[in-house]
Amino acid sequence: MLQPAPYAADPTKTRGRLHLQPESPGRSAFQRDRDRIIHSSAFRRMKHKTQVFVSVDGDHYRTRLTHSLEVAQIARSIARRLGLDEDLTEALALAHDLGHTAFGHAGEEALSAKMAPWGGFDHNANTIRIVTYLEHRYVPFDGLNLTWETLEGLAKHNGPVSSPPWALAEYVAQHDLELHTFASLEAQVAALSDDIAYNTHDVDDGLRAGLFTIDDLMVVPLVAETWERLRRQYPQAPKERLRPELIRNMVGHLVLDLLGETGRRLERLQPLSADDIRRAGQPVAAFSSAVQPLERELKHFLRTRMYHHYKVQHSTDLAKGVIGDLFDLYLDDPLRMPPEWSSRAAAAAMPDRVRTVADFIAGMTDNFALKELARLTGRQPIEI
């Protein structure tokens, strides 16, 4: 095993947890965080939450859970090569999508629109709300009581946060996560591993769904270069056998580029601690200037040919209606929610009452949301 780099997060020097606890024998503080995330209810619910395709569309498409597992695998591999703390990196990768609603970004857009008068809804901030407040697995405290480093990474893995959403602002008022700085290199690696995973695996799911073909993808240089190399290497192989090779090779290409560019930035910066990474003034983990435009072109193709495809758009439009209707129904009569939620809403003043409704809806899986709408209205806009 490689020696930890001087700029890696050190679990023996963690800034600790909001609620004091003795650490677990035989596990580092970051291993304990990862284990708490895996055993949480929110983590289990991701198996029936949309990544791109509504989860009832088929068994082979990615869900939030399988996507998060793939992100964790990529992130941990990169962390090992860079000498980072693999357990913190894995914890952040596994937890980064906990705050997503049912039906993916469509659900988030619908809930954010309904919540606009009360501060809106943001899935990253909702992840913090889940792990610090909404999970009820321990007697002494709400949430999972994760370390400062894990919470910091979840809050600002995409960079400093100058205008935190209400859910994040509410938490940092009692536990400063230093939102004005960059996050640890472990968090930066987890964030870019997310990009690598969804860019490449959405190509795989889009091909499987028939939204576009290999020939259509030849306008994307990153795909075209990889495909032509594979065709020369395996001239007799049918396209269907080459598709997994295409995805695997694209992942490998992006990982190696990220390692190379991050290594160059580390060489220039010469950081001696994790705090040197936080104070660097720019991201340290990054793709090279040669690959950045290639990655943007791939994202543009997926946005136009997959996320905005009429088949995907039709199901997401229906999904927005499900979330919006449930919000109106529960806000009109909180007793329509289960007792543990309706009693919490009844005891709360505004805006906490409406935020309780949003908490309940944000935690739903695709299937549960559809069943709830059918129970309350008899309507089932998407077949389960």
What is the mean pLDDT of the segment spanning 164-185?
97
User: CA 294 to CA 222: how far, in whole Å?
Assistant: 6
Q: What is the CATH number of domain 26-172?
A: 1.10.3210.10
What is the mean pLDDT of the segment spanning 148-152?
98
Question: If you compute the radius of gyration of the chain from its CA atoms, what whole number of angstroms results?
Answer: 22
Contact 175, 151 (CB under 8 A): yes
What single-letter DSSP state applies at residue 381? S
What is the mean pLDDT of the segment spanning 29-33?
98
Assess whether pLDDT exceeds 70 at residue 20: yes
Residue 58's pLDDT band (cuts 50, 70, 90): low
Assess whether pLDDT exceeds 90 at residue 320: yes
pTM score, whole prediction = 0.96
Q: Tens digit of pLDDT for each residue in 89-141?
A: 999 999 999 999 999 889 999 999 999 999 999 999 999 999 999 999 999 99
pLDDT at 329: 98
Q: Tens digit of pLDDT for each residue in 223-253?
A: 999 999 999 999 999 999 999 999 999 999 9
CA torsion sign, 97 to 99 to 100 to 101?
positive
Q: Tens digit of pLDDT for each residue in 187-205?
A: 999 999 999 999 999 999 9
Residue 55's pLDDT band (cuts 50, 70, 90): low
Q: Tens digit of pLDDT for each residue in 261-312?
A: 999 999 999 999 999 999 999 999 999 999 999 999 999 999 999 998 988 8
pLDDT at 54: 64
Q: State the CB neighbour count (10 A cutoff) for residue 2.
A: 11
pLDDT at 51: 79
Residue 383's pLDDT band (cuts 50, 70, 90): confident
pLDDT at 60: 78
Task: Say which residue the tokens 């090279």 belong to.
Answer: 288
User: CA 372 to CA 336: how far, in whole Å?
Assistant: 10
The full DSSP string for 227-269 is HHHHHHHSTT--HHHHHHHHHHHHHHHHHHHHHHHHHHHHHHH
What is the mean pLDDT of the segment spanning 1-15?
92
What is the mean pLDDT of the segment spanning 173-182?
98
Contact 222, 252 (CB under 8 A): no
Assess whether pLDDT exceeds 70 at residue 384: no
pLDDT at 53: 66
